[in-house]
Amino acid sequence: MTVYTGGCQCGAVRFRASGTPHHASICHCRMCQKAFGAYYAPLVSVRKMEFEWTRGQRKTFRSSNLVSRGFCGDCGTPLTYEAPDGMAVAAGAFDDPSAFAPSIQWGVEAKIDFVDHLHELPGARTEDDPEAESFQRELVSYQHPDDDTPVWPPEDHA
Ligand SMILES: [Zn+2]
Ligand SMILES: [Zn+2]
């Protein structure tokens, strides 16, 4: 059985999903845009998987009478979409989001027009920007690593 782990940016909330994802999708609806602070929301349905919270607990916001949105109360990372027919987890919160290629787009009536053209934008690598060099050199990440950790945060963060 395939095991997928993930969690929020600060590491206070971690989870594990085992089995085969029902599907991965992106949702363009206005509620998902708002909940993710994004142009659309990438979600992995875990309704047919074994799912457990392995560290901490999400907070939830009830975004409608039928749906709750889970997030980390410490760092704000969006984590779940919880509906009567099951739960979906924010794809980017998994340790390896590339494991979940989306197969459908929901809520396309609310799709922002330029979303269909993002791949046409010019691209730049971080290391090719000379102004980013000293920033990158001084930068120390406090983001939880993309693996489970026995203790978090490490003591030298404090
Ligand atoms: Zn967090
Ligand atoms: Zn949506």
Rounded to an integer, the average pLDDT of 75-93 is: 97
CA–chain centroid gap for 11, Å, is 13
Rounded to the nearest angstrom, the distance between the alpha carbon of 114 and the centre of ligand 1 is: 30
Q: Are strands 104-106 and 50-55 parallel, antiparallel or unpaired?
A: unpaired
Fold for domain 1-109?
A: glutathione-dependent formaldehyde- activating enzyme (gfa) (3.90.1590)
pLDDT given at position 158: 54
pTM of the model: 0.93
Q: Is residue 13 predicted with pLDDT exceeding 80?
A: yes
d(CA 92, ligand 1 centre) in Å: 13
Q: Return the domain boundaries, the chain.
A: 1-109
CB half-sphere exposure, 55, CA atoms < 13 A: 20
